[in-house]
Structure 1
Amino acid sequence: MRSPARQQRRQQLIQQYVLSRRTMLALIGLACAPALEMCLGNKSYATAPDLPANQDIPTLPQKNNSAIQLERQEQLSAVRLQYQLAFRLPNAVRVATLPLQEVFDQAYKNNREILSQKIAANQQAFQQSPKPFVTLEDYAAVFKVLPLPDIAKTFKSNDTFAKQRLSGPNPMELTNVLSLNYNLFEKLGITDEIFQTVLLSQTGKADESETLNSATQEGRLFVTDYARLDSTHVTLKSNRFLTAPIALYYADRSRSHSRLIPIAIQLGQVPKESLLCTPMDGVDWTLAKLIAQMADFNVHELVRHLGQTHLALEPIALATVRELAARHPVNVLLKPHFEFTMAINALADQVLINPGGYVDIIFGSTIESSLNLTTLGISEFFNNFSNFALPNNLRQRGVDERSVLRDFPYRDDGLLVWDALLDYVSQYVGIYYRSNQDVIEDFELQNWLQVLRKSVSDGGFGIVSLPPRLTNRDQLINLLTQIIFTAGPQHSAIAWIQYQYMSFIPNMPGAIYQPIPTVKGTMQDESSLTHFLSGIEQTFAQVNVIASISNKVDIKAFTDFGVNSFQDPRAINVLKSLQDRLEVVEKQISQRNQRREEYYPGFLPSRMANSTSA
């Protein structure tokens, strides 16, 4: 007869290693029905039992004995010596010296070399028989080896101009007038008469009852306001010109289709003093669109792309590696999404944002002014961090509802990916954090949060809008989902699409080379517009850098983590569930693209990268 002690020990082992029927069913559901938890509408957490002690299995520090806790602290002390801190911008911390484990791998280097050779061959082919840019169409001649973007065929179209607010490289600016925190019509000099005349010319329908006020109240008016480019923030180079335009759009929602109609562009922030152009103004309207596109180029590259992905993510990556031990589950989760980020930013220091680098050559403002815009963009991101979570950002801009803006590919496809990631992170967090108390007691996690939110002047990383403490799993899940989404899908959506729109100068110029007009009728025809655009040197600087940063050089698929692959079988099951769900998302987006007038690849999982790496 077994002794009570042996029976008790046997029962403990069973509880530790044998899966209950309920838990087994939950895991089968994870592996076989990745969308099940979404269909049920309930937030669920993985409840697999603890695995035996294994140094490759992530653990929470408070669950370890004192010897392992000491080992974790020693490891972090060594890492902090490797990852010492320096400043890239006043509010953007960088790694002082790039550690060996952060450099590009050989496959990445090989792919970048192939791309560089192709870019160089393209420029050399043009230089063999260079021709001046007499017409806008002449800019197509710079694409000798590189493919001519499709936008070169349609860039003059008003529909093409408007669609770029919805599915172009910068879908972050469009805002419903109802959602503005200021009165737009105090700074935009448009009248009901102008509005109705433009509507009639663009839709063929006269409706005197549709006024600016009624269209605003119906949620039909949208704006892109580039006020951050106002001259108070910017110092211009000689022979370069910049303004802060405002573009107004109307959502035409018929039963059969919907479209965004450009109504007017004001070439500055002061009504009456700044020229207002409409689609009826011929070549002046074409120039106004060029100037608005230039403004969008500046805000996209300096703020949304460089500031709010690349330079905002490196401080988070540094805090993660310096404050969370290698076996911490949050470190393990995030590590694949920081791969090569420090390396690509270090490369940018050498060729992109350095004096004489690409930013200095392409943009109209001085390098100091350009980087000041980036600094302001980082501050906006860090001071309002949760507002940049995709659902929150869409809601705050008043573009979250299909009833208001029916066709918005960035929103519609992005939310599919966001929801998949949110469920994935929820399942992953549930493996290691069985309760809110586990979050509260995780001292490494709380230290990580504290250094993230501490101001830069106090030795932190400056994300001051983060909460004082993490007190529950939902807080942690939302934070991690936003970090992963920003590093992978968001960067992929706004970066890999750039070549299609931003390499063709007449669609999105980096700078304007003639004074911003204040009156209409000074130009005879469109050939005059080439004087406002770049010459050969600046043109190739823009084409070359856009070609370089628009390609996914790291060929690993999204969720293929390579050397950073999970070792915990429970986490592997959760990752497999995400992969299965993303296959469904891929099919959904592909089906949508078949119905769309314009193909939108931004959030196709097959095109996304794990990290901000190019």
Structure 2
Amino acid sequence: MRELEEQQKLFRWRVYAEGTPQVIDCETALTLPAEVRFSFTKETEFYSSAAKHICSDTACFAEYCQEHWDEDEFFGYQFLNGLNPMMIQRCTTLPKNFPVTDDMVKNFLRGRSLEQEMKKGNIFLSDYKMLDGLVGNVVNDRQQYLTAPLVLLYCNPHGMMLPIAIQLRQKPSKDNPIFLPTDSKADWRLAKIFVRNAEFGVHEVDFHLLRTHLLAEVFTMATLRNLPSPHPLYKVSNLSCTSWYDV
């Protein structure tokens, strides 16, 4: 009981952001007790392995991205093989707030209708509605802007995932057009850039920070504050502060 009392003094909760799980009350991992930090050997090994991986793989991939980033094929490829493959879903019915018509996209569907391709399972949707209404931060005295796009994709007979329609905000209106691959190159490119920006934001805040680090930290903190070190579950949990390092 005395150990738990000490643990509860060392590991305290604080609010990270309203509406999200609480986190440990510390500024950096270095202020945590030594027993829950990486050892010097482990930390050195961690960064060494990361550096080797980056040096060996990133250069080739970066060169490929520089050559192909603006192509629709690569844009579609990233929905399954990019940083966040969690948003794309097979579309069987178009959302009411995404009024894509057959006339808009028939040239990209080999003359077939949206309904026909949806029945075949070839139409996919990525909807970033969770970003709707959010205001961007001010960075270096400049206001940043967010969109909450809807993206319609078509999986063609060659297995390529191709974007065929993009709407950048959730409510359709004259000021919120549906962008198509047949629009000007600059407009279509900018629409795709806003989609990539939205995907990065959703991935980092939701899937990475919230669902990985903050969620895991709740269980880690509960274990540290409620189970003494000799407890079997404490030993089995193999605690480390990996999640705190990134946060």
- Tell me which interval the TM-score lies in, with the shorter structure as reference length: 0.7 to 0.9
> How many Å separate the matches in 2 of 1:308 and 1:93?
13
- 2:126 corresponds to: 224
Measure how far apart 1:239 and its partner are.
Answer: 4.4
1:424-439 matches, within 5 Å, as none
> How many Å separate the matches in 1 of 2:49 and 2:170?
41
Contact 1:103–1:340, Cα closer than 8 Å, also in 2: yes
Letter in 2 for 1:247: V
1:247 aligns with 2:151: yes
- 2:104 corresponds to: 194
Letter in 2 for 1:151: C
**Higher-helix-fraction structure:** 1
Count how many residue pairs are aligned between Structure 1 and Structure 2: 230
> How many Å separate the matches in 2 of 1:303 and 1:224?
15
- 2:84 corresponds to: 170
Contact 2:21–2:215, Cα closer than 8 Å, also in 1: yes
CA RMSD of aligned residues (A): 3.0
Instruction: Summarize deviations over 1:317-347 as a string: whole Å, max 9, x none.
Output: 1112222343444333322xx42335415xx
> How many Å separate the matches in 1 of 2:81 and 2:160?
12
* Rg (Cα) greater in structure: 1
- 1:260 corresponds to: 161
Tell me: CA distance 1:86–1:236, structure 2 relative to 1, closer, same or farther (3 Å). Answer: closer
Tell me: CA distance 1:330–1:115, structure 2 relative to 1, closer, same or farther (3 Å). Answer: closer
SS across alignment from 2:162: strand
Letter in 2 for 1:76: L
Tell me: CA distance 1:113–1:169, structure 2 relative to 1, closer, same or farther (3 Å). Answer: closer
Contact 2:136–2:145, Cα closer than 8 Å, also in 1: no
> How many Å separate the matches in 1 of 2:180 and 2:209?
32
- 1:580 corresponds to: none
Instruction: Summarize deviations over 1:334-384 as a string: whole Å, max 9, x none.
Output: 22xx42335415xx4xxxxxxxxxxxxxxxxxxxxxxxxxxxxxxxxxxxx
1:138-537 matches, within 5 Å, as 147=59, 149=62, 150-178=64-92, 184-200=94-110, 206=111, 210-230=112-132, 232-237=133-138, 238-252=142-156, 254=157, 257-273=158-174, 274-281=176-183, 282-335=185-238, 338-341=239-242, 343-345=244-246, 348=247
> How many Å separate the matches in 2 of 1:334 and 1:165?
34
SS across alignment from 2:208: helix
Tell me: CA distance 1:211–1:327, structure 2 relative to 1, closer, same or farther (3 Å). Answer: farther
Identity among equivalent positions (%) equals 28
Measure how far apart 1:161 and its partner are.
Answer: 0.7
Measure how far apart 1:268 and its partner are.
Answer: 1.4
Letter in 2 for 1:285: W
- 1:9 corresponds to: none
Instruction: Summarize deviations over 1:235-266 as a string: whole Å, max 9, x none.
Output: 453443221111101223x4xx5232211111
Mark the runs of 5 or more structure 1 residues left unpaired by the alignment. Answer: 1-72, 118-145, 201-205, 349-614
Contact 1:226–1:245, Cα closer than 8 Å, also in 2: yes
| 2:10 corresponds to which of 82, 102, 110 | 82
> How many Å separate the matches in 1 of 2:204 and 2:222?
25
Letter in 2 for 1:191: T
- 2:21 corresponds to: 92
SS across alignment from 1:249: strand
**Higher-strand-fraction structure:** 2
- 1:440 corresponds to: none
Contact 1:243–1:267, Cα closer than 8 Å, also in 2: yes
> How many Å separate the matches in 1 of 2:130 and 2:96?
17
> How many Å separate the matches in 1 of 2:10 and 2:86?
36
Measure how far apart 1:92 and its partner are.
Answer: 2.5
SS across alignment from 2:145: coil
1:94-109 matches, within 5 Å, as 94-97=23-26, 98-109=32-43
> How many Å separate the matches in 2 of 1:275 and 1:100?
55
Instruction: Summarize deviations over 1:466-510 as a string: whole Å, max 9, x none.
Output: xxxxxxxxxxxxxxxxxxxxxxxxxxxxxxxxxxxxxxxxxxxxx
Measure how far apart 1:109 and its partner are.
Answer: 4.7
Letter in 1 for 2:123: L
Letter in 2 for 1:102: V
Contact 2:135–2:145, Cα closer than 8 Å, also in 1: no
Tell me: CA distance 1:111–1:270, structure 2 relative to 1, closer, same or farther (3 Å). Answer: same
Letter in 2 for 1:264: A
SS across alignment from 2:160: strand
- 1:455 corresponds to: none
Letter in 2 for 1:164: Q
Instruction: Summarize deviations over 1:366-417 as a string: whole Å, max 9, x none.
Output: xxxxxxxxxxxxxxxxxxxxxxxxxxxxxxxxxxxxxxxxxxxxxxxxxxxx
Measure how far apart 1:271 and its partner are.
Answer: 2.1
> If the length of structure 1 is used for normalisation, what is the TM-score?
0.34
Contact 1:189–1:272, Cα closer than 8 Å, also in 2: no
SS across alignment from 1:247: strand
Contact 2:75–2:162, Cα closer than 8 Å, also in 1: no
SS across alignment from 2:209: helix
> How many Å separate the matches in 2 of 1:236 and 1:84?
29
